[in-house]
């Protein structure tokens, strides 16, 4: 539901401003604006002397015919005013494949400042329509304008599916957009599949990783999900005649924000485990710091980085930036060596893109041996020294 104001009836008497217990109404120029603090209590509706205010119901179940008509896919790009985030092309690749499967079109929402070049470049990867919101208000992420822009694009394009990145920006933006449309949202999906009827199957671990839940949104649109970086293959260049960039009208209402960005301090760039081509990942089976030292030595000798599972972060053996898995980073290395990793779903969800996986563990029944390409069963403290000595000599 959403609070609406009939501007033709409104006399700007401001009776609603004094009535609202949440200070969620504000006069801006010649209109009354509803702020995000509105709780839909209805006090202003009941007290408006000219009955200019009403609560609009949204998100009613769609009819079967309406569900069949909704076939398009939209993805939300991320741009930092220098370049597109790499996850954008991963979303585009996944969105293009799904749109083709259900005979729909693919749109992309791009918000930023001076980003015409990036908008045009997206057309080269199979995007049919780019909704461009180019303004200094989008120079840095502020939640209100970004939410308004995405809502505007979705209402115009009417997609069946909307995909966001599972980044700090996407995790903040997607829930607000879902609330605007009264629809469902599944976060941190590890797999996305689409059925012939346009129904999106959103797959992610649940109940502590004991099951892989398949989540659907059968009666509301758009179906919304966030997808993590490095989970999917990036889109490849694709000739797409008839594609276009649509520069959207930027009204004062769309750009309005209660947040003013005063200063931005960027962190110095850090090497990320997500970008490593060779990783040696260790888990609970390592057991002690001496064995961890062997893992670090092995990684150094083969020019790799050390990754860890969640238990090693929780016990203080490693930094959270090294964590791989559902609650850590997703990786796509050319070579991944796991040491003492059992292979729980929380971990394997983050390594689906690894080209070659070599597993070392003492338990021959460990689930990691079901996903690896090569396996070594034995005592870590016997196997690791042999590998290290062979590399040294």
Indicate if 164 and 34 belong to the same structural domain: no
Indicate if 20 and 95 belong to the same structural domain: no
Does residue 222 sit within a domain?
A: yes
Indicate if 340 and 374 belong to the same structural domain: yes
Residue whose C-alpha is closest to residue 70's, from 198, 176, 181, 156: 198
- Computed over every residue of the chain, the mean pLDDT equals 89
Indicate if 40 and 70 belong to the same structural domain: no
- Residue 375 sits in a domain whose CATH number is 3.40.50.1220
Among residues 184, 217, 250, which one ends one of the domains?
A: 250
Domain housing 41: 2-56
Indicate if 112 and 33 belong to the same structural domain: no
Whether the pLDDT of residue 69 is over 70: the answer is: no
Does residue 178 sit within a domain?
A: yes
Contact predicate 192/94, CB 8 Å: yes
Q: Which residue has the higher pLDDT, 208 or 43?
A: 43
Q: Express each pLDDT in 109-148 by its tens digit.
A: 999 999 999 999 999 999 999 999 999 999 889 999 999 9
Indicate if 167 and 34 belong to the same structural domain: no
Among the residue ranges 261-265, 292-296, 334-338, the one predicted with the least confidence is 261-265
Up-side HSE of residue 154: CA atoms within 13 Å toward CB?
Answer: 23
pTM for this structure? 0.73
Indicate if 69 and 205 belong to the same structural domain: yes
pLDDT (0 to 100) of residue 208: 67
Whether the pLDDT of residue 68 is over 80: the answer is: no
Indicate if 310 and 240 belong to the same structural domain: no
Give the C-alpha separation, 128 to 203, whole Å. Answer: 26
Indicate if 125 and 83 belong to the same structural domain: yes
Give the C-alpha separation, 342 to 170, whole Å. Answer: 31
pLDDT (0 to 100) of residue 55: 79
Query: pLDDT band at 204, cuts 50/70/90?
Result: confident
Does residue 379 sit within a domain?
A: yes
Q: Express each pLDDT in 159-203 by its tens digit.
A: 999 999 999 999 999 999 999 999 999 999 988 999 988 999 999
Does residue 268 sit within a domain?
A: no
Indicate if 224 and 81 belong to the same structural domain: yes
pLDDT (0 to 100) of residue 9: 87
Among residues 250, 285, 302, which one ends one of the domains?
A: 250
pLDDT (0 to 100) of residue 81: 77
Indicate if 209 and 73 belong to the same structural domain: yes
> What average pLDDT does range 20-29 have in this prediction?
90
Q: How many domains does the chain have?
A: 3
């Amino acid at each position: 539901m959403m609070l609406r104001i009939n501007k033709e009836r409104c006399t700007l008497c401001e009776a609603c401003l004094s009535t609202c217990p949440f200070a969620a109404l504000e006069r801006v120029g010649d209109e009354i604006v509803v702020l995000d603090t509105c709780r839909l209590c209805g006090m202003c509706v009941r007290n408006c002397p000219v009955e200019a205010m009403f609560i609009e119901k949204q998100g009613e179940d769609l009819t079967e015919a309406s569900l069949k008509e909704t076939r398009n896919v939209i993805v939300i790009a991320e741009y930092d005013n220098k370049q597109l985030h790499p996850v954008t092309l991963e979303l585009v690749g996944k969105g293009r494949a799904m749109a083709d499967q259900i005979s729909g079109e693919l749109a992309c929402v791009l918000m930023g400042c001076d980003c015409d070049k990036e908008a045009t470049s997206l057309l080269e990867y199979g995007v049919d329509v780019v909704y461009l919101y180019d303004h200094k208000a989008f120079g840095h992420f502020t939640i209100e304008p970004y939410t308004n822009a995405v809502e505007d694009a979705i209402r115009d394009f009417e997609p069946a599916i909307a995909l966001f990145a599972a980044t700090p920006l996407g995790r903040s933006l997607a829930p607000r957009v879902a609330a605007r449309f009264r629809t469902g949202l599944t976060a941190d999906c590890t797999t996305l599949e689409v059925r012939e009827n346009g129904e999106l199957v959103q797959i992610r671990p649940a109940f502590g990783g004991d099951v892989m839940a398949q989540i659907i949104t059968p009666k509301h649109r758009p179906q919304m999900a966030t997808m993590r970086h490095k989970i999917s293959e990036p889109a490849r260049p694709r000739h797409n005649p008839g594609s276009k960039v649509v520069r959207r009208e930027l009204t004062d209402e769309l750009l309005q924000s209660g947040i003013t960005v005063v200063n931005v301090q960027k962190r110095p760039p850090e090497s990320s485990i997500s970008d490593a081509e060779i990783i040696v990942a260790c888990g609970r089976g390592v057991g002690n710091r001496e064995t961890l030292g062997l893992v670090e030595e092995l990684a150094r000798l083969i020019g790799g980085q050390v990754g860890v599972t969640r238990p090693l972060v929780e016990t203080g053996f490693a930094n959270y930036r090294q964590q791989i898995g559902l609650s850590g980073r997703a990786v796509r290395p050319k070579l991944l060596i796991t040491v003492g990793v059992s292979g729980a779903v929380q971990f394997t969800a983050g390594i689906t893109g690894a080209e070659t996986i070599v597993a070392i563990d003492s338990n021959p029944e460990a689930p990691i041996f079901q996903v690896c390409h090569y396996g070594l069963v034995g005592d870590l403290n016997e196997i690791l020294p042999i590998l290290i000595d062979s590399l040294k000599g």
